Amino acid sequence: MTTTRLTFWLGCLFGLIGLGFLFHGADPDKRLSPFLLGWALWLLSPYALLAAAARYGRFPLVFKGALTLTILAGLWGSWLYAELTFHLTTKPDAQDAIAMIFVPALQHMVIVPTLAFLFALGVVLSRRKR
């Protein structure tokens, strides 16, 4: 299996895990509300970004970096969603729903600069080979 496909399928897996935790606590009557659907798209956005980087990246560093970031962001995000849903090590808090909104923001704060660095490094290394 290629790095691109593995990144895509792992992103799908971690995205489905996150959606499962998101919809687990949602009111059944409001599961199709525009707010919740927007929240679901926001939750999936880091994995879509990584899949796009793996698909359209120009350098092997970006491919491998996207796969590594998918694994790290997916494991961290899944653990945090499970923690916020089931309170494995913490007590329930009124801000748990707000914390779930910020998980993709934190993932983006790590993913975007790392991919930018890997792309820049790929450009420098490709110029050195010439």
DSSP secondary structure string, 7-31?
HHHHHHHHHHHHHHHHHHSS-GGGT
**Tell me: the pLDDT tens digits for 63-122?**
899 999 999 999 999 999 999 888 888 888 888 878 888 999 999 999 999 999 999 999
- Specify the pTM: 0.88
The count of other CB atoms within 10 Å of the CB of residue 74 is 22
